[in-house]
Amino acid sequence: MQKVLTAAQMREVDRLTTERYGIPSIILMENAAHAVARVITEKLGGSVKGKSILILCGKGNNGGDGAALGWKLALADAQVEVVLFGKIEDTHGDANVNFGAASGSVAWFRQIESKEEWEGWLKRSWQDWDVVVDAIFGTGLNRPVDAWLSNVIRHTNILNGGSPQSSRIAISIDIPSGLNSDTGEEMSDVFQADVTVTFTAPKPANVLPKTAPFNGELLVAQIGSPYSLVDEFVSELYLSESSEAESFLAETEFTPGSYKNKRGHALVIAGSETYSGAAVLAGNSAIRSGVGLVTLACPAEAKTEIASRLLPEVILATIGSKEFDELFGKANAIAVGPGLSATDLEIESLVRKVVEERTTPVIVDAGALWFFNPPTGIPDDADKNVRVPLILTPHEGEFMRLLGTDDKESIKDRVAAVREFATSNNVILVLKGERVLIGHPDGRVVVNPTGNSGLGKAGNGDTLTGVLAGFIAQSVAIPRDYAFYTPDIGQDAKLEEAFEGVVAAVYVAGLAGDIAEAKYGKRVMIASNVRECLADAFKSVEKKDTYKGFVISCCFVVSDLRNEPRIHTKKHEIKKK
């Protein structure tokens, strides 16, 4: 997981990089420009020679990054046009140095200070750019933008979106201009990027559910600050990445001694006469997760309908039978809810028993969530010596019911709402949506970068529940190295095992959704397609090539400095522009 830093924390990291490690701030700025230049070069097929590139710059350090980018691209024979919204004499420090260098090296350098100057220049320009770079505002934006500059951003979005050159690429440096870096508040029109290159660590507005779409593909470039500096800062917001899923798959790999009873047993309690498909989807996706055994328990009246569509590898049992009663001591993880009747008193009694008497992780989804709405709420586990994980997986509407409100303002800050609910109820909360949030009882919130709006169709929640059940069962049954998350685990081992499984499962399931989107399109893709794409998702993670991209490294190396790239994108590698 990557720690997400605030703007103030990032400024302190930059300061300490210079103070402790002797790396001049101007070198950090040039390294940032170099990283963006590498991105542009890759996106243009390996060369910028002869390509037309427009760089829009503000007067601050973000603009300085853009100016440094301009003269670097000019040296590579690109046709570069730099527009500074202001005068060079109004800039300071490293930015001033780079604006001076850009003004003497790029093909065209413009200084614009008003709406009239902007519109006049726009009318005279060819508007045939291959790349448009946004370096207007950086992470320091915390007040509304002047109206004419907001209009500049709006015009630029229109030009980029309406260009007959469909290959034009829009790139933001650090964060799309118009966003408050910490809150994600829109301070003006917001630049719509195809790619955002941020530095050292993601910022909240790079990853928050509401603002992530403005970023497009997110690349995190290391420009010279040691990770040890980032580790010094406290953050409760994280971004999951392929390494978590890769680690999970490596630690639960198939060995010569692997067999079904060693790989975990997932019990899925699901289905009703009306919603038999939900049970089928959950059970079938669970058995695709790598778990050794899956048992699907359903009401007697739904058994025939479910049996006709269930994969033969899934064991089918009847709720209330002797066989069913014996399952609780055998299962390593239990998922309850997909397709269950929310009005059946016997089902309610069963669900409450499963949750309140659990000795292994329990996932509560869909119909089962109804039974924990206020005033009854979630059972209090404070008196338990060992915390047995409880995982709740609501979508937005179900989450509001759990909160006891229909006021959407209560979840306007989704991260805060997830954190508060997870900590106050001692649960792992998976808030579903295009960008899933995962809350830990200790206050951490993890943002998952995979998945897309095509998953917002019937059945995908059931598919995710099945994958969660399979992953968590493997976490419990197979010895794991969970120190990656929390070095001092103690009695919370079960909680950390489950949390790792949840983070990895959500990532992989979202990735399978991205692969399904690439193959079928959002309009056509269905939950069964996502389940079948799990195989491709596993292969992609295991090959460490989940993300299209390339090495983004800094050009100034110090001891104890790791320069591996962190690349985050919404698209799987088979999705080509």
Question: CATH 3.40.1190.20 occupies which residues in the chain?
Answer: 244-252+260-542
Alpha carbons within 13 A on the beta-carbon side of 7: 17
Residue pLDDT, tens place only, 498-551: 999 999 999 999 999 999 999 999 999 999 999 999 999 999 998 754 433 333
| Per-residue pLDDT tens over the stretch 150-189 | 999 999 999 888 544 457 999 999 999 999 999 999 999 9
pLDDT at residue 549, rounded to an integer:
34
Closest by CA to 181, choosing from 137, 150, 135, 146, is 137
Q: Which CATH class is domain 244-252+260-542?
A: alpha beta
- What are the distances in angstroms from CA 292 to CA 139, 259, 336, 391? 47, 7, 19, 21
pLDDT at position 564: 38
Per-residue pLDDT at 210? 92
Q: Which segments of the chain have a pLDDT < 70?
A: 162-166, 381-386, 480-491, 544-577
Asked whether the beta carbons of 502 and 472 are under 8 A apart, the reply is yes
264-295 confidence digits (pLDDT tens) = 999 999 999 999 999 999 999 999 999 999 99
Fold category of 2-235+550-568 in CATH: Rossmann fold (3.40.50)
For residue 132, how far is the Cα from the chain centroid? Answer: 25
The pLDDT of residue 381 is 65
Q: Using CA atoms, how far apart are residues 172 and 192, in angstroms rounded to an integer?
A: 8
Nearest to 242 by CA among 403, 449, 9, 67: 449
Whether residue 118 contacts residue 124, with contact meaning beta carbons closer than 8 Å, is answered with no
State the pLDDT at residue 162: 55
- Give Cα 484 to chain centroid, integer Å: 19
pTM, full prediction: 0.90
The whole-angstrom separation of Cα 197 and Cα 176 is: 10
The answer to whether 212 and 435 have CB atoms below 8 angstroms apart is: yes
State how beta strands 169-173 and 131-135 pair.
parallel
52-57 and 315-318 strand pairing: unpaired
CATH 3.40.50.10260, the chain: domain bounds: 2-235+550-568
